[in-house]
Amino acid sequence: MKPRRKIAVIGAGLGGLAASIRLASAGADVTLFEKNSHAGGKLHNVKLGSHNFDFGPNTITMPEVFRNLLADAGENPEEYFHFDRLETHTKNVFSDGSFFHFSADADRTEEEIAALDPDSALGYRTYLEEVRNLYLKAEKHFLYRTFRSWRDYLSLPLAKALFGVKPLTGLDRFHRKFFPDPRVRQAFNRYATYIGSSPYMSPATFALIGHLELNDGVYFTRGGNANIAGGFLRAAEKLGVTVKLNTEITGIQTSRGKASAVTTDQEESLDVDGIVMNGDLLTQVPALIRREDRTRLTDEKINRFNPSVSAFVILAAVSTRFDLHHHHVFFSSCYKEEFAGIFDRQSYADDPTIYVCTSSKTDSSLSPDGDNLFILVNAPPLPSGKTENVDRDAYASRVFERLHQRGIDINSALVHKKTVTPGDLARNFYAYRGALYGIASNRRSDTFLRPFNQSADLKNLFFAGGSTHPGGGSPMVVLSGRNAADALLSELEKD
Ligand SMILES: Cc1cc2nc3c(=O)[nH]c(=O)nc-3n(C[C@H](O)[C@H](O)[C@H](O)COP(=O)(O)OP(=O)(O)OC[C@H]3O[C@@H](n4cnc5c(N)ncnc54)[C@H](O)[C@@H]3O)c2cc1C
């Protein structure tokens, strides 16, 4: 009988938790290291007084990805978390005061679009069909597999599939085909931000997010989305994973082209047969692996990757209930200018699009004494090699002022406030330049040619998370953890 494989997983974000569950259920001896005191990485609960907030993912799609991970490991997902579908999930409000809702009830969304612009409603059903097809193609060819080297792109079926997902059309251009009204288009173009990119640069491939939200639906995890991370942690421990919180990996030792051990800031060393790195590979490869051991993924190569958007977040605990939807978006007057500011000039918008998630609208017990407003404004990632350029109190006041102009007077009801900047995301999670989703998908090369899931330098080192395949966002990183675990096990089988 072969000895159990000893695997270290670096980082207990959703990707690392998923990899650990998958590896342990296949019989590996797994140790999961997390530098922070909580599991879940960017997804975690924040408590301000009696107000509970989900930090990180607020919009959950593809619930089957989370459930299947547990079911395939022999666990009953219902014992870990429960998802409720929010049928009419998002209120889109435009700068002229007009609005419509996104709903998985197609009749309702179609009617509301028609009230704004009848011509834009005409294309809605065709749009839903097209984005469903886009999603099905991506699911078949890209989501449930790793990309380990250039050779993976050379198969004819994959090349055909690539052309089938509209890589050469821009997202905004794709949406113009269906929605002549600029307000309606602005709401659909926002999907580019779900992968941290600009609708004026990213490929139409990502219109598939429209399928997830509008055909399938948006979900909320009962008790808060952080319960996904809590459930994964419990399942990992039950399956025998050794979880070491407050333990940072400080180095990866190598021997003959392979990773052989990891060292921690607790002066421990663990010999390993393989590693899944969930911490952002663009910061952690240079931090943990000596230059002479990584001649293929050099600092120069890493610095060429463009980070996704970052965020300026305000958690506002208020003493009242506002007239807000669970997901509520106040759009700016000029979307194009906002993205040009973020990506071309690395500047914060004076009139930003403001996303407010108020999960207490669905479950008031999360904040019994008033609403829990998670307010997010897209922000430029940290400038390369420079320090953060935002005054957090001044910018938070600016955002509150803009919300006041839209009828939401936060200052008069504010009990607690916490701000999180791109610099905080870089420090707390070692996110590459504070990015939310790893690498941006503004260039085709960044969308389809992300860093591979397998290290070209160390054959038993695999990557999971937003900077590798299949991409950023909570279901995608769970898939990447699962895919990386399977690929590592099959690599170790070769020995
Ligand atoms: C404000 C915000 C809003 C978001 N909104 C959404 C949303 O609505 N929907 C959605 O799907 N996604 C959303 N996302 C993105 C989503 O949170 C991420 O895609 C996902 O959580 C990333 O998971 P991950 O496992 O790749 O990485 P992370 O969550 O970053 O986990 C990596 C972990 O590795 C740890 N680590 C790094 N280096 C080391 C080391 N050397 N030793 C030990 N530990 C280490 C880090 O501390 C971290 O805990 C949002 C993100 C943010 C920040």
User: Which of 186-190, 229-233, 294-298, 413-417 is least confident?
Assistant: 294-298
Q: What is the DSSP letter of 4?
A: P
- pLDDT tens per residue, range 414-470: 999 999 999 999 999 999 999 998 888 776 656 566 788 999 999 999 999 989 988
| The ligand 1 atom nearest the CA atom of 474 | 11
User: What is the Cα–Cα distance from 305 to 403, expressed in whole angstroms?
Assistant: 34
**What is the Cα–Cα distance from 185 to 102, expressed in whole angstroms?**
13
Q: Is residue 180 part of a domain?
A: yes
Q: What is the DSSP letter of 452?
A: P
CA-CA distance, 390 to 299, in Å (whole number)?
27
Q: What is the mean pLDDT of residues 404-417?
A: 98
Domain of 380, in residue numbers: 309-432
The ligand 1 atom at the shortest distance from the C-alpha of residue 420 is: 1
Write the pLDDT tens digit of every residue in 339-381: 999 999 999 999 999 999 999 999 999 999 999 999 999 999 9
Q: Is the CB of 43 under 6 A from ligand 1?
A: yes
Domain count, the chain: 3
CB of 313 sitting under 6 A from ligand 1: yes
- Considering the domain architecture, whether residues 148 and 210 belong to the same structural domain is answered as yes
Residue 286 pLDDT more than 90? yes
Select from 216, 234, 253 the last residue of a domain.
Answer: 216
How much helix, strand and coil, in percent to the nearest 5, is found in the chain? Answer: 40, 20, 35
Both 99 and 206 in one domain: the answer is yes
Q: Is 34 in the pocket of ligand 1 (CB under 6 A)?
A: yes
Report the separation in Å between the CA atom of 43 and the middle of ligand 1, taken as the mean of its atom positions: 6
Query: Which whole number is the average pLDDT over 317-342?
Result: 97
pLDDT at 69: 98
Q: Which pLDDT band holds residue 408 (cuts at 50, 70, 90)?
A: very high
Mean of pLDDT over the chain: 93
Compute the Cα dihedral for 483, 139, 478, 429 and give only its sign: positive
* Secondary structure E strands in 231-379: 242-244, 249-255, 258-264, 269-271, 274-277, 310-318, 327-330, 354-358, 372-379
User: Residues 464, 346: one domain?
Assistant: no
In a domain, 82, yes or no: no
Q: Which residue has the higher pLDDT, 145 or 99?
A: 99
- Write down which residue in 410, 432, 454 finishes a domain: 432
Our CA angle for 489, 491, 495, nearest 5°, is: 105
Section 400-419 average pLDDT = 98
For residue 384, what pLDDT is reported?
A: 82
- Ligand 1 centroid–CA 36 distance in Å is 12
Cα separation of the two ends of the chain: 14
Q: Are residues 300 and 318 in the same domain?
A: no
Nearest to 11 by CA among 483, 422, 430: 430
Query: Does the beta carbon of 474 lie inside 6 Å of ligand 1?
Result: yes
Q: Quick one: 109 and 189 in the same domain?
A: yes
Q: Quote the pLDDT of residue 195.
A: 87
Q: Is the peptide bond before 77 cis (omega within 30 degrees of 0)?
A: no
